[in-house]
Amino acid sequence: MRISKLAISENENTARLSATVSHEALEKSEQDIYFEVGIQHKNYLRAFYEPFILACFPAALLHGEKRISVEGAACPELISNIKSAMLLQKRWWKDKNTLPIIEYKNNRILDLAPHGTAGFMSGGVDSLSSYCRNISLYTLKDPRRIRHAIFVYGLDVGDPNKMERKDIFEEGKNKLVSFLERNGCELIPVYTNARNIEPDWRFYEERHFGALLSGIAHALSGKFSHCQLALDSRADFADEWGSHPWLNNYVSSSGLVINSTMDAYSRLERYSFLAQKPESLETLRVCYMMNNIPTGEINCGKCSKCTRTKVELLSHGLLNDAKTFSDKSISPDLLRGLIVRHPHEVEYVGEPIKRLREIGENEIADHLEEQIKKYNSGPNIKDRTINLLKSFDAKFLNGFLKTTLNRREKNP
């Protein structure tokens, strides 16, 4: 894999950091990968290769690239960290590929920007609770307070496997700007196509997520020296995942420190931070089902993730305050879509049960308990059949079935 042609370009409205990525182990056309902001945020961009190295290394390992060749200088601290990250991923996923060698022109220690703290802000429970906790601890003048919130188009909204919904991004952005400005924080909308390096959604979740977020943060690190990544699970429920706290230890450089947050807090504990800032609930965006979200909304209210979030809000007494869910009902039909498939989902589904029983929502609590029992007893015939089909598709059909299904979802 080669990374070359680093450039910053501007027009009347936008500023863009870009580089060209080409594969050597795959027959794939070269790609121009970019990170783009509004012209008013151009001073956040830094012209260096580190964002692209971070965005590329998980795909290079996955596809058996022998090297990552960088046409320029690189930070030796980051290169060392990335080697550690690849060693960990190679162990987790039992990769038989040789570890790619990172080749670059010379070492360059990066300058730290004036001390300040950024955080990613999707509008989800994890990023919102992390932000609310942070501003409850640190005053406006404290450099540890989050003063820069990064909101990305090209991850869940802008997923290359789904239909394009820039209207949802704009709606979410408008809600966040109002909330953040009241608390002395600037929202930085950024647009990227970096997921096109390897667009598979499972790869993104399991291997790419934390590294890509760090790449985006590095691209924007002209005005902050630290950036927080809010984890989606408490430490004892963390599994082998793209944003595992171990992996996040290996995505810092001499020019930017990446810190994981919220791994000490359960789901319901996170809602307690939102309850301290109830206006945060007016920005809550959790839905990934772009084709099901009505115009003017930012959540569909019906998918499993929306349903789970409504259950969590209900158990914490916050559902009526969550204005981004216009339909607050939790019907038996919606509950049937709430299925436990991963270890971290046991945390999500299990924790509200006691509170639900305390408020008399026994039907919902019974369903959640049944799902945990099913998960603990192992996959049923349907799940085993689906897993076999996925393995057959990957091994013998080169992902044809998955690509077809993704295309149907993107263009219903």
- What pLDDT does residue 412 have? 52
Residue 106 in this model has a pLDDT that exceeds 80: yes
Q: Are residues 123 and 208 in the same domain?
A: yes
pLDDT over 90 for what percent of the chain? 80
The CA distance from 37 to 187, in Å, is 11
**Lowest mean pLDDT, pick from 75-79, 91-95, 173-177, 388-392:** 388-392
197 and 214 fall within a common domain: yes
Statement to judge: residues 257 and 128 lie in one domain: yes
122 and 250 inside one domain:
yes
> Residue 408: pLDDT above 60?
no
**Tokens 């990335």 sit on residue:** 82
145 and 99: one domain?
no
Provide CB contacts within 8 A for 47, sequence distance 6+. 6, 7, 8, 17
- Shared-domain flag, residues 125 and 224: yes
The confidence score (pLDDT) of residue 359 equals 96
Q: What is the pLDDT of residue 391?
A: 64
**Residue 113 pLDDT class (50, 70, 90 cuts):** confident
User: How confident is the model at residue 342, as a pLDDT?
Assistant: 80
C-alpha pair distances (Å), 93 with each of 89, 101, 156, 203:
6, 19, 24, 11
CA distances from 18 to 62, 193, 212, 379 (A): 23, 10, 15, 44
Pair (293, 315) in one structural domain: yes
Tell me whether residue 270 is in a domain: no
Domain membership of residue 280 (yes or no) is no
DSSP code, position 123: S
Greater model confidence, 41 or 233: 41
Domain count along the chain: 4
Q: In which band, very low, low, confident or very high, does the pLDDT at 115 lie, cut at 50, 70 and 90? A: confident
Look up residue 108 and give its two tokens: 């360059």
Structural domain for 398, as ranges: 385-410
pLDDT digits over 378-404, tens only? Answer: 765 566 576 667 666 665 665 667 666
Q: What are phi and psi of 299, to 5 degrees?
A: -135, 145
Amino acid at 86: M
> Within this chain, do residues 131 and 82 fall inside the same structural domain, yes or no?
no
> How would you class 336 by CB atoms within 10 Å of its CB: exposed for 0-12, middle for 13-18, buried for 19 or more?
exposed
Sign of the CA dihedral 44, 48, 52, 57? negative
What CATH number does residue 237 fall under?
Answer: 3.40.50
pLDDT at 411 over 80: no
Q: What are phi and psi of 67, to 5 degrees?
A: -155, 160
Phi, psi of 347 (to 5 degrees): -65, -50
Q: Is the pLDDT of residue 307 over 60?
A: yes
Residues 351, 241: one domain?
no
Q: In what order do the strands lie in the sheet with 67-70?
A: 101-103, 67-70, 2-10, 14-22, 31-38, 186-192, 146-153, 117-120, 226-230, 257-261
Question: Whose CA is closest to 263, among 297, 289, 283, 236?
Answer: 236
For residue 111, being part of any structural domain is answered with no
Within-domain flag for 231: yes
Minimal CA–CA distance to 146: which of 46, 30, 262? 262
Would you say residue 183 lies in a domain? yes
Q: What is the pLDDT of residues 134-160, one digit of tens each?
A: 999 999 999 999 999 999 999 999 999
Question: What pLDDT is recorded for position 383?
Answer: 62
Instruction: State whether the Cα torsion 291-294-295-296 is positive or negative.
Output: negative
Residues 122 and 255 in one domain: yes
Residue 275 lies in a domain: no
126 with 67, same domain: the answer is no
Whether 298 is in a domain gets the answer yes
Q: Tell me, yes or no, whether 48 and 179 share the same domain.
A: no
Look at residue 276 and tell me if it is in a domain. Answer: no
Task: Select from 51, 68, 103 the last residue of a domain.
Answer: 103
Residue pLDDT, tens place only, 161-190: 999 999 999 999 999 999 999 999 999 999
The answer to whether the predicted template modeling score (pTM) of the entire model surpasses 0.95 is no
**Mean pLDDT for all residues in the chain:** 92
- Quickly state the pLDDT bin for 90 (edges 50, 70, 90): very high
